[in-house]
Amino acid sequence: MFRPRDEYAEPFRIKMVEMIKMTDRPTRERLIREAGYNVFFLPSEAVYIDLLTDSGTSAMSDYQWAGMMQGDEAYAGSRNYFNLKETVKDIMGYEYVVPTHQGRGAEHVLMNTLVKPGDRVLGNMHFDTTEGHILLRGAEPVNCLAEAGYRVSEESDFKGNFDLDKLEAEIKKCPGKVPFILITVTCNNNGGQPVSMANIRAVREIADRYGIRVFFDAARFAENCYFIKQLEPGYESKTIEEIAREMFSYGDGCTMSAKKDALVNIGGFLAFRREEDFRKAVQWQIPFEGFITYGGLAGRDLEAMARGLREVLNLDYLEDRIGQVRYLGDLLVKAGIPIVRPVGGHGVYVDAREFFPHIPRDQFPAQTLVVELYIEGGIRGVELGGCAFGRKDPVTGEDIWPELELLRLAIPRRVYTDRHMNLVARALARVKERASSVRGLKLTYQAPVLRHFTARFERV
């Protein structure tokens, strides 16, 4: 189980800092109004604690920075590529590595390599960019998450697991139409929830029965392995390396946004077990991402990524990282704030419908909470709810709402201290005190796809 946070401290020293400053409340009220009540339009210098995302926002180590100085900036055959390839082989067991500029670049290449129009890609719960790339291929993304994953306050382990019966039923529904199953570890949309080794193994067995490939969306693979070690019987005394090796042994490859668990500010890759998949993927990689041995990145980026992939497996690091996320979650529970339970790997997710029961769905309770938290404490979270995942039915024009309506507080790795987390909890508690007088938002502009990035709102 998890070690109490006061029994250990950060397993690093801080060698360099970036100054941040708090703005005053009238300034924040003006800025958020000018931003159309959309935090994507705020200048980041006007944010005191930035929990918009854990992607590309982490602090690299001195060892990674030293590697940046050893970039081999060759167009072809960079030594940093070979280091990355060897690292991926060691950790994941996959022989063939295709670097890309970030995670969605890897998704683009994978979908073009293996997905045909009319196919159905089954997953526990596809992330929004993944879903976008499946749709762009004229295929259908299908989520097979077990029911518990949708129940916000249910305290059960491994809420990123597949419903195995549903998975098999979906395969049987359209024989020959499933190019692969995608396991997203951890499952981002419902709280950074882990998938158990037993569930992953069972997915592999089902896939084998039907001759289907299995891939991982490995963005937060090390965090998933840490949960397996802490929570799954039989894994307590295994190392993170051993757990990762077993987990990836059930797959035919993976996509990776290295901006998360490779501890870099930019980068990604695809990895394959089979040479035939690699050969096909390279045909898409070269025109869109660049040659095989750089994939839209500089040699120095490849080196930082290779080093980050080894560093993230360190148990002290993972304990501190996930311990900090849980620390914030515990503070919010104590303050009576409704959060997704149990706390997941990379952030704390607040249930906005329970926070603002008087604000109807079409007045965007989670977006309203994002706005109020910024005004209250200069803290930027992100909405994962009706704005990000809702849409209009193209035929009836009616609103289709997602199951969940959440504010996500994603914590960058090795960037903030627990004192920053104290301030986040205090600011949310103050918003809660005045919750019943807060008014919702009216959507005044929306783009046809991924509307949350550019949406604009007014106060109701």
Between 321 and 432, whose beta carbon lies closer to ligand P61? 321
If binding is defined by CB under 6 A, does position 257 make contact with ligand P61? yes
Of the residues 8, 75, 210, 445, only one is catalytic, namely 75
Contact, 302 vs 84, CB < 8 A? yes
Smallest gap, in angstroms, from Cβ of residue 58 to ligand P61?
12
* Residue selected from 28, 85, 104, 413 as contacting ligand P61 according to rule CB under 6 A: 104
Q: Does 184 engage in binding with ligand P61 (CB under 6 A)?
A: yes
Cβ closest to ligand P61, residue 410 vs residue 427: 410
Contact predicate 298/99, CB 8 Å: no
- The interface mask with ligand P61, positions 54-73, x = CB under 6 A, is -x------------------
Contact 399, 361 (CB under 8 A): yes
The correct pick among 268, 342, 345, 385 for binding ligand P61 (CB under 6 A) is: 268
Draw the binding track, 195-224, toward ligand P61 (x: CB under 6 A; -: no contact): ----------------------x-x-----
Based on the shown chain and the rule CB under 6 A, indicate whether residue 259 belongs to the binding site for ligand P61.
yes
Residue 300, interface with ligand P61 (CB under 6 A)? no
Q: Give the interface segment with ligand P61, choosing from 22-30, 126-134, 137-145, 284-292 (CB under 6 A).
A: 126-134
- Residue 130 or 293: the one with the smaller Cβ distance to ligand P61 is 130
CB 133 within 8 A of CB 122: no
Q: Which is nearer to ligand P61, 168 or 217 (CB)?
A: 217
Q: Specify whether 260 is catalytic.
A: yes
Give me the phi and psi of 400, to 5 degrees please: -110, 120
In this complex, which beta carbon is closest to ligand P61, that of residue 306 or of residue 438? 306
Among 58, 188, 293, 367, binds ligand P61 (CB under 6 A): 188
Q: Select which of 139, 207, 219, 352 is catalytic.
A: 219
Examine the residue annotation and report whether 133 is marked as an active-site residue of this protein.
no
CA distances from 384 to 21, 52, 160, 361, 443 (A): 27, 11, 16, 13, 15
* 53 contributes a contact to ligand P61 by CB under 6 A: yes
* From 97-105, 232-240, 411-419, 437-445, span contacting ligand P61 (CB under 6 A): 97-105
Query: Residue 362 corresponds to which tokens in the numbers above?
Result: 């079409």
Catalytic residues: 75, 127-128, 217, 219, 260, 452
